[in-house]
Amino acid sequence: MSDRPAPPVADDDEGKTMKRRDLIRTAAFAAAAPLAAPSIARAQANRVLKFVPQANLSSMDAVAGTQYVVRNAALMVWDTLYGVNAKLEPQPQMCEGHEVSADLKTWTFKLRPGLKFHDGGAVTTRDVVASLERWMVRDTMGQIIKGRLDALEALDDRTFRFRLNKPFAKMLFALGKNNAPVALIMPERIAKTDPYKLISEYVGSGPMRFRTDEWVPGSKAVFEKFADYSVRPEAGEWLAGGKRMMFDRIEWLIPSDAATAGAALQNGEVDWWETPLPDLVPLLKRNRNINVDIADPLGNIGSLRFNHLQPPFNDVRARRAVLMALSQQDYMQAVVGDNPDLWKESASYFTPGTAVYSDAGGEVLKGKRDIEGAKKLLAEAGLLGAKVTLVVAMDVAITKAEGEVTADLLKKIGFDVDFIATDWGTVGARRAKKDPPSQGGWNIFHTWHAGADCVNPAPYTALDCGGDKAWFGWPKSDAVQQGILNWYDAPDLEAEKRAIAALNRASFENATYGPTGFFLMYQAWRNNVSGVVKAPFPVFWGVQKA
């Protein structure tokens, strides 16, 4: 006799053995399971977004560093007190609201109730104060606040206050701006880190938590939905409103090769590519499964950066001569190609299409380019044939293109060009040297500035003309510095516009740097992804995958 149980088929033994109809139902379910599996797998796949960022996420501190890719990741993990919308108007985010004194010297803020960090701790004003103190050391606007600060104090767990000795009208913009360093709120213990050292614990209160255990720098970064995130009731718009995450996981996949990223998007292995190479855009546009559109409506401004400390560009006539001959069309076609939708000439240091844009004083960049006039000016200054050390990062497509156009331009107007082809890491180190080019210094390097950083002087470090303390190239101009202060103190939009017009004029008179044109970049995503918006950073909230 077998000790195995009897076959479970008896109809009359309810409760102990399986009925025939149960068996049939089970068998049918088992047979159907493989058919159901793909839809379950699909549903799970729909909760995961695979995203290719603009660059490798090499660190995760958007206060100590200003890399855009780090800022973009940080905006998911950490929240801000205020956040700008698409009109760059700051809206309450972690804050419930604020009160400000009539003299704009006392700003009192109240946090929303129920805010939590990813480690489960409540967000309190002690965290806010410590975070803002760290941020104020590194951020230009923060430094101005710090310079006017009598006290930043936590009144209770949800209320904190700035007491200033001078009015500061742009407090909300400073707390809600998207430009790095962003005023991110982190736990007090982390915010106490030296502002010049990278944090090593990535705990925020934003809609996604960072999975440090899954981080493979240079290859993959994973963000997981934070279940306790307190979503605002309003619709989400840029950094303002409700940040509703439709994904359980967002995986940043970092192929080091643009062609591989393009192929992966075409093959459906990734869902969204932040900055496709312009050369690959026509190919992607031909693919019916892929959408291609402008990524950031605020675009970018190309930059030919002079070293104001070293000859020949310590002479303003040499800088002006370059601007007289500089053709933005040449630069833009080299950078983004022939598509006229992607670039425009702009005789301004500010972002076209924004509220305070001005091209006052930008005549030197308009009309027919004056090679002969530039030569004549250089001859007057005794600089014809002067040696110019042009340091070009050849591993970055934009700077490579700009550098090659500049080399040609400089030769045409009579300079002797020493073209140093190198990588961005070397440019980053070399541009910090104030020594003569013969001792490891430089005369010109190229970069570009995000249009979002050029909407006003606050985040615009490249415009600063504070001499030794200014950005690389160390330009000095009292008129420019006064223009920046005038903008900070402007009480309304009209006053801001006047300040910006004067500032633009002063910048061109000083030839602070050479704006090589305004250009846009594309982003590309699969058709099954919806909710992708145009913004200066990838906005993940509201994006879904079918």
Partner 1 sequence: MWAYAIRRIIATIPVMAIVALFVFSLLYLAPGDPAAIIAGDQATPADVERIRASLGLDRPFLIRFGEWLWNVLNGDLGVSIFTNLPVAHMIKQRIEPTLSLMVLTLTFAISFAVPMGVVAAWKQGKWVDRLVMVVAVMGFSVPVFVVGYVLAYTFALQLDWFPVQGYTPIASGIGPWINNLALPAVALGSAFIALLARITRATMLEVLSQDYVRTAKAKGVDQKSILFVHGLKNAAVPIVTIIGLGFAGLIGGAVVTESVFAIPGVGRLVVDAILRRDYPVIQGVVLMFSFVYVIVNLCVDLLYTVFDPRIRY
- The residues of the shown chain that bind partner 1, judged by CB under 8 A, are 56, 58-60, 64-68, 70, 138, 179-180, 194, 196-200, 215-220, 253-257, 259-261, 263-264, 266-267, 269, 395, 422-426, 428-432, 447, 449, 453, 459, 461, 469-472, 474
- Nearest CB to partner 1, comparing residues 180 and 409: 180
Task: State the DSSP string of 181-220.
Answer: SP-B---HHHHTS-TTS--S-----SSEEE-GGG-BTTTE
User: What's the token pair of residue 94?
Assistant: 């972690």
Which of 246, 233, 174 lies closest to 207 in space, CA to CA? 246
Q: How far is the CB of 386 from partner 1 (least distance, A)?
A: 24
- Nearest CB to partner 1, comparing residues 180 and 378: 180
**What is d(CA 219, CA 96) in angstroms, rounded to the nearest whole number?**
38
Q: What is the CA radius of gyration of the chain?
A: 28
Q: How far is the CB of 446 from partner 1 (least distance, A)?
A: 11
- Nearest CB to partner 1, comparing residues 71 and 243: 71
Q: How far is the CB of 339 from partner 1 (least distance, A)?
A: 25
- Nearest CB to partner 1, comparing residues 301 and 383: 301
Q: How far is the CB of 259 from partner 1 (least distance, A)?
A: 7
**What is d(CA 475, CA 469) in angstroms, rounded to the nearest whole number?**
9
Task: Please report how the helices 328-336 and 397-412 are oriented relative to each other, as an axis angle in degrees rounded to 10.
Answer: 150
Q: How far is the CB of 293 from partner 1 (least distance, A)?
A: 23
**What is d(CA 71, CA 409) in angstroms, rounded to the nearest whole number?**
35
- Nearest CB to partner 1, comparing residues 99 and 201: 201
User: What's the token pair of residue 349?
Assistant: 């240091």
* 3 state SS of 425: helix
- Nearest CB to partner 1, comparing residues 382 and 428: 428
Amino acid at 517: G
**What is d(CA 87, CA 254) in angstroms, rounded to the nearest whole number?**
31
Q: What are the Cα distances from residue 469, in Å, to 143, 248, 461?
A: 13, 45, 10
Which of 271, 109, 264, 251 lies closest to 183 in space, CA to CA? 109
Q: How far is the CB of 405 from partner 1 (least distance, A)?
A: 20
- Nearest CB to partner 1, comparing residues 391 and 506: 391
Phi/psi region, residue 431 (left: phi>0; alpha: psi -120 to 50; beta: rest), is alpha
Q: How far is the CB of 387 from partner 1 (least distance, A)?
A: 20
- Nearest CB to partner 1, comparing residues 86 and 258: 258
Q: How far is the CB of 100 from partner 1 (least distance, A)?
A: 28
